[in-house]
Amino acid sequence: MAFQDFDKIQERVNADRKRKFRKRIIVGTVSLLMVVAAIIGGAFAYVAYEKKTEQQAKNKNNNEKTAKDNGKKSQSPPSQNPPSQKAPVSAEQSVKPGQADKVIETLCSSTLYAQTCEKTLKNRTEKGTALTNPTTFLKSSIEAINEDLDRVLEKVLSLKTENQDEKDAIAQCKLLVEEAKEEINASLNKVNGTEVNNLTKIVPDLDSWLSAVMSYQETCLDGFEEGTLKSEVKTSVNSSQILTSNSLAMIKSFDANLPLVTEVLARQLLDQTPSWISNEDRRMLRAVDVKTLNPNATVAKDGSGNFTTINDALKAMPEKYEGRYIIYIKQGVYDESVIVDKKKANLTMVGDGSQKTIVTGNKSHAKKIRTFLTATFVAQGEGFMAQSMGFKNTAGPEGHQAVAIRVQSDRSIFLNCRFEGYQDTLYAYTHRQYYRSCVIIGTIDFIFGDAAAVFQNCNIFLRKGLPGQKNTISAQGRIDKFQTTGFVIQNCKIAANEDLKPVMAEYKSYLGRPWKKYARTIVMESTIEDVIDPAGWLRWQETDFAIDTLYYAEYKNKGPSGNTTSRVKWPGFKVINREEALNYTVEPFLQGDWITASGSPVKLGLYDA
């Protein structure tokens, strides 16, 4: 299908709106600081009060003791005869154990595993220091995850087996635990030294990174077949999963007491540019004109560029590069497995068109390759951007799980790209992701993973699979209710691919099914053609799994299959109102100012505004 034109970028903010917005920011920030002060005061005021009372009692005792030592009773009020000056009392000495414990109980009350949370904080935190900066409690909680992951890694490395599948699972788990530790260390670096009144500024990053840690742990377990080995690993991983869940909940415990966060700090200034975006990036994204692209490297199969393969261009990219590194990939089919690793941050790849510049492969589960490793293309480096490119897995329906692209790059953007496969086409694995004007084609669970991802103005096509198969667009993998992950499909077109149209009656198709317990998918303001079953959503393997804990929602969809009258009656399914739908727009769900700053076209709110 022909690709839609790249959206023209319009001026977003005029002078009057900027003036009003800055005024709101100033007023909101002042209000926020007052709220923070009130919260901290409410939580810890009695600490200062008891400290003062205790000091007054000490002063009185000291005066009376002095008078007695001089052989006479004091005749003057203590204020007229102050005690001799003493060394200041440390925070640790002045704070009673019960005072810090009360704060710990409050922070842990909203967690799923409160007893573990309290035990962790009480054993690890210097309580006096924590009361002067309560984010120390959060730091202690995250440090506990890090130490537990060390134990998990030790356990995984100790496993012995002669079975090749189990060896592969062990190797994959080791890789994922190491990935999790990297995210934990990044989280600790963010929290370290952050005052409680600045915590809201780093909440989006912490939510994204710790949610990714949950995903890595779960993927480690998914790699093992049921049996003794999996049971051993599950027992080991369970503790770190609990600690991660508690840390995510604790972030919300702080955040919930700051009602102005969403309005003021989560938005931040629209003209405040993230450090990884430059004016050159904006110019590059506003036009695909390769004549003015000025790339750092050009890939061309015919030898007219610097390299003939994408991998060669990646190898030549400096590990530490200031600004954004741009690789222009001329038209051609590039049959190669590509991994943009974490060291290659702020990378942009630009092609000649989603059906002209194509990265292809055919790895599949049917070839005894683990699903996680079947991806033709893997994006890990933070701030990855792709424009006008195609990503394909040609294993076919007989290959079963066969990933075209796995994305775990935080703050990644895909513009006018095409993702083509059958089962498990697009693995939106972790972190924050934005897809605009893309084409996504597949059969079973072909948008899956546990990222916080928004698909906007995209064409989503269901295709013909194996006889008897049921098509499902999404399989979202949220495993904990405190994760900030989920899929949002907004202002998209959902329709049958050309190969499915003649035989639609033979293949039932659905919007999604719950891969994990807290699966979350929202379809809103989209056109759903006559391809989706009236029930809308499918159970996981014909069971009641997750139907009361998932969150599936629809808002103002249209088209022949957009009617919700006959939708499933699960406790977790909702037809939501406008107020609730706003929570899943780009601005609050992805903290979307980084997308705006990139120069990418984006709708921050609802289209019906």
Q: Please tell me the distance from the alpha carbon of residue 366 to that of residue 2, in angstroms, as a whole number.
A: 31
Strands 452-456 and 418-420: unpaired
**CB-based contact 99:46 (threshold 8 Å):** yes
Q: What is the pLDDT of residue 144?
A: 93
Structure tokens at 341: 């690793």
Model pTM score: 0.78
The number of angstroms, rounded, from the C-alpha of 5 to the middle of its chain's C-alpha atoms is 29
If you average pLDDT over residues 206-228, what whole number do you get? 92
Q: What is the pLDDT of residue 131?
A: 53
Q: Please tell me the distance from the alpha carbon of residue 476 to that of residue 578, in angstroms, as a whole number.
A: 23
Tell me which residue has tokens 């993927």.
219
CB atoms closer than 10 angstroms to residue 368: 9
Minimum mean pLDDT range among 186-195, 201-210, 406-415:
186-195
Half-sphere exposure of 504 (CA within 13 A, CB side): 15
Q: What tens digit of pLDDT does each residue of 165-175 get?
A: 999 999 999 99
Which band of pLDDT confidence, cut at 50, 70 and 90, is reported for residue 7? very low
Which band of pLDDT confidence, cut at 50, 70 and 90, is reported for residue 16? very low
Nearest to 277 by CA among 600, 521, 510, 542: 600
The number of angstroms, rounded, from the C-alpha of 433 to the middle of its chain's C-alpha atoms is 8
The sign of the dihedral angle between the CA atoms of 251, 253, 254, 260 is positive
Q: Which residue would you say has higher pLDDT here, 103 or 318? A: 318
Q: Please tell me the distance from the alpha carbon of residue 506 to that of residue 132, in angstroms, as a whole number.
A: 65
Residue 53, pLDDT > 80, answer: no
Which band of pLDDT confidence, cut at 50, 70 and 90, is reported for residue 592? confident
DSSP states of 449-468? ES-EEEEES-EEEE---STT
The number of angstroms, rounded, from the C-alpha of 351 to the middle of its chain's C-alpha atoms is 27
Which band of pLDDT confidence, cut at 50, 70 and 90, is reported for residue 14? very low
Residue 80, pLDDT > 50, answer: no
Average pLDDT, the chain: 82
Which band of pLDDT confidence, cut at 50, 70 and 90, is reported for residue 149? very high
Q: What is the rounded (10 degree) CA torsion for 164, 167, 173, 177?
A: -160
Query: How many helices, marked H, and strands, marked E, lie in the chain?
Result: 14, 26
Between vectors from CA 606 to CA 601 and to CA 607, what angle results, nearest 5°?
Answer: 70
Which band of pLDDT confidence, cut at 50, 70 and 90, is reported for residue 208? very high
Q: What tens digit of pLDDT does each residue of 262-277 get?
A: 333 333 333 333 444 4
**Percent over 70 (pLDDT), the chain:** 75
Q: Please tell me the distance from the alpha carbon of residue 537 to that of residue 37, in angstroms, as a whole number.
A: 46
Q: Please tell me the distance from the alpha carbon of residue 366 to that of residue 464, in angstroms, as a whole number.
A: 18
Q: Please tell me the distance from the alpha carbon of residue 545 to that of residue 571, in angstroms, as a whole number.
A: 12
If you average pLDDT over residues 152-161, what whole number do you get? 90
Phi then psi dihedrals of residue 565, to 5 deg = -55, -40
Q: Please tell me the distance from the alpha carbon of residue 595 to that of residue 345, in angstroms, as a whole number.
A: 16
Q: What is the pLDDT of residue 138?
A: 85
Is 445 part of the annotated catalytic residue set? yes
Q: Which residues, listed in sequence order, are joined to residue 392 by a DSSP beta bridge?
A: 360, 420
Question: In 3-state terms, what secondary structure has residue 487?
Answer: strand
**CB-based contact 494:527 (threshold 8 Å):** yes
Q: Where do the H-state alpha helices sit in 436-529?
A: none
Residue 437, pLDDT > 70, answer: yes
Residue 22, pLDDT > 70, answer: no
**Percent over 90 (pLDDT), the chain:** 62
Nearest to 587 by CA among 602, 566, 604, 570: 604
Minimum mean pLDDT range among 68-77, 354-363, 598-607:
68-77
The number of angstroms, rounded, from the C-alpha of 396 to the middle of its chain's C-alpha atoms is 30
**Most confident among 33-47, 147-161, 258-272, 425-439 (mean pLDDT):** 425-439
Q: Please tell me the distance from the alpha carbon of residue 221 to that of residue 326, in angstroms, as a whole number.
A: 37
Q: Which residue would you say has higher pLDDT here, 110 or 381? A: 381
User: 52 to each of 45, 80, 186, 284, how far by Cα in Å?
Assistant: 11, 18, 39, 61
Count of positions (residues) in the chain: 609
Q: Please tell me the distance from the alpha carbon of residue 358 to that of residue 330, in angstroms, as a whole number.
A: 10
**CB-based contact 358:334 (threshold 8 Å):** yes
Minimum mean pLDDT range among 454-458, 507-511, 590-594:
590-594
Q: Which residues, listed in sequence order, are joined to residue 486 by a DSSP beta bridge?
A: 452
Which band of pLDDT confidence, cut at 50, 70 and 90, is reported for residue 359? very high
Residue 256 CB burial class (10 angstroms; 0-12, 13-18, ≥19): exposed
Nearest to 310 by CA among 386, 410, 223: 386
Residue 508 CB burial class (10 angstroms; 0-12, 13-18, ≥19): middle
Minimum mean pLDDT range among 194-203, 216-225, 493-502:
194-203
Q: What is the pLDDT of residue 609?
A: 66
Nearest to 361 by CA among 448, 425, 302: 425
Residue 83 CB burial class (10 angstroms; 0-12, 13-18, ≥19): middle
Residue 392, pLDDT > 90, answer: yes
Question: In 3-state terms, what secondary structure has residue 250?
Answer: helix
Q: What is the pLDDT of residue 255?
A: 59
If you average pLDDT over residues 312-325, what whole number do you get? 92
If you average pLDDT over residues 118-145, what whole number do you get? 76
Q: What is the pLDDT of residue 98?
A: 59
Nearest to 339 by CA among 361, 306, 369: 361
Which band of pLDDT confidence, cut at 50, 70 and 90, is reported for residue 256? low
Q: Which residue would you say has higher pLDDT here, 322 or 528? A: 528
Q: What is the pLDDT of residue 272?
A: 35
Catalytic position from the list 445, 450, 480, 593: 445
Which band of pLDDT confidence, cut at 50, 70 and 90, is reported for residue 105? confident
Q: Please tell me the distance from the alpha carbon of residue 352 to that of residue 480, in angstroms, as a whole number.
A: 40
Q: Where do the H-state alpha helices sit in 159-294?
A: 164-191, 199-222, 228-255, 279-286
Residue 537, pLDDT > 50, answer: yes
Residue 361, pLDDT > 90, answer: yes
If you average pLDDT over residues 60-75, what whole number do you get? 44
Structure tokens at 218: 């779960």
Phi then psi dihedrals of residue 605, to 5 deg = -120, -150
Q: Please tell me the distance from the alpha carbon of residue 176 to that of residue 129, in angstroms, as a whole number.
A: 34
Question: In 3-state terms, what secondary structure has residue 360?
Answer: strand
Which band of pLDDT confidence, cut at 50, 70 and 90, is reported for residue 253? confident
Residue 6, pLDDT > 80, answer: no
